[in-house]
Amino acid sequence: MIALLTGVIAYKSPDHIILDVHGVGYRVHIPFSTYYELPEEGGTATLHIHTSVREDAILLYGFRTRLEKSFFQLLIAVSGIGPKLARDILSNIQPGALAQALAQGDLGKLATIPGIGKKTAERLVLELKDKVGKLDLSSIPAVDAREIPGDAVTEDVISALLNLGYKEQQVRKALSGLDSTGSVSVEGLLKQALKILMK
């Protein structure tokens, strides 16, 4: 199984990248938290990889830190949580906040994540509350906001939110009241949009 990849970012989007490792391009699915930390296309990155093997596909999920990968692996061990949903959970909530919500049994906070209803939130708390306490949370990185032109930002944010399961009408309505002109970052606009969508 592939556990770690280092290469040049040939393509970068909020939900996946293509990593060129010595001439071989690996498509790696990523959460937003990893996206924010990656250099631009042409830059070099190292990702901790979880290899998901299905009957019809082998999918790679990449994370900037071992902690993110550990959270991902805890999530997919829960009944009813597949790799895509686990990635979407990590895209909607930072590892530190997720650990806190699980430790405190904050069902309300967990249930606001797209794809997570009350029953799934209860299952997450029941199965992960004790396991999360054993993780080393001291390595949680600070999020780095990178600025890119407004139009590209808006398109990236729309694409990312649609991939998370939000309806296009919801997304465009949320973005219509936000300022996406000038040197706004993907992270900044995404956070604003998610605040509106998660109310």
Residues 70 and 59 in one domain: no
The pLDDT assigned to 148 comes to 37
- Residue 112 has a CB neighbour count (10 Å cut-off) of 17
Number of structural domains (the chain) is 3
Q: Is 6 exposed, middle or buried (0-12, 13-18, 19+ CB in 10 A)?
A: exposed
Q: Is 138 exposed, middle or buried (0-12, 13-18, 19+ CB in 10 A)?
A: exposed
CATH code assigned at 174: 1.10.8.10
User: Is the residue at 145 inside a domain?
Assistant: no
In sign, the C-alpha dihedral spanning 162, 167, 169, 174 is negative
Chain segment 30-89, per-residue pLDDT in tens:
998 788 888 899 999 999 999 998 888 899 999 988 888 988 998 998 888 889 989 988
Residues 50 and 85 in one domain: no
Amino acid identity, position 5:
L
Task: With beta carbons less than 8 A apart as the criterion, state whether 5 and 47 touch.
Answer: yes
pTM assigned to the model? 0.66
| Of the candidates 148, 13, 151, 29, the residue with the CA atom closest to the CA atom of residue 90 | 29
Band of pLDDT at residue 168, cut at 50, 70 and 90: confident
Helix (H, G, I), strand (E, B) or coil at 135: coil
| Of the candidates 17, 11, 41, 37, the residue with the CA atom closest to the CA atom of residue 145 | 37
The pLDDT assigned to 47 comes to 94
- Asked if the model's pLDDT at residue 195 lies above 70, the reply is yes
The pLDDT assigned to 150 comes to 44
Q: What does the alpha-carbon distance between residue 13 and residue 65 come to, in Å, rounded to a whole number? A: 19
Chain segment 110-162, per-residue pLDDT in tens:
887 777 888 888 888 888 888 877 766 555 544 333 333 345 667 777 777 77
Range of the domain at 87: 66-139
Chain segment 82-97, per-residue pLDDT in tens:
899 899 888 878 777 8
